[in-house]
Amino acid sequence: YEYISESSIRLFWKNRMESAFLYLVYRKQGAEDFVLQKSVADTFFVDDSVRVGETFQYKIVPKNVYETGDSSTVTVTIQRVFNPPAIVSIKQLPGSRSVEIQWTDNSNAEVNYWVYRDGLIISKLDPNSTVFVDNDTTNSLQVGETYRYYVEITDRGGKVQASGEQQITITDPGLPPFSFLIDSALISQNRIADI
């Protein structure tokens, strides 16, 4: 299973019954009996009604046309995780001054993501976001200038966690990448040497 948010988890399982075409997903909490949540044809189920700090037990029962298979059971305790995101990539998109920032979502308790450029908020994003493109619709990203970006999350109580800051210098979108320029210069020097 995996946590999606503080109120959602996704359960996965493998099909171990020949020709199973339906799975009955049951859930139990505390002393109550197992209650059917849903019948699904896929080998996953999303439960959007879990709560932080509580423990749930799930039972998956496969079925085919002829029989019901043995059930699998898993116990899940919902924990609140509120860790800062981590920027894993920042790059200028080819042919433009736009900047793409990618990060890891290390939390299941965020309600919003906020993207900052040079200390100012430039975008508010939904929970579980992991990418943002600063399209520079106001022409504020200038060639040769360096810009600092970071990503911040907030929870329902207003607590904040922020990624580390990353910076990027905007290059002329009309020029080929720097490595191409170096390769071209080396090729030209080799041709001159051959003459």
Q: What is the pLDDT along the chain (195 residues), one digit of tens a residue?
A: 777 777 888 898 887 777 778 899 999 988 889 999 999 988 899 998 888 788 899 999 888 877 777 788 888 888 778 899 999 999 999 999 999 999 999 888 888 999 999 999 999 999 889 999 999 777 789 999 999 999 999 988 889 999 999 999 999 987 655 544 444 444 455 444 444
- Full-model pTM: 0.60
Taking Cα atoms as reference points, which of 65, 73, 72 lies closest to residue 18? 65
Q: Cα–Cα distance between 63 and 45 in angstroms, integer?
A: 16
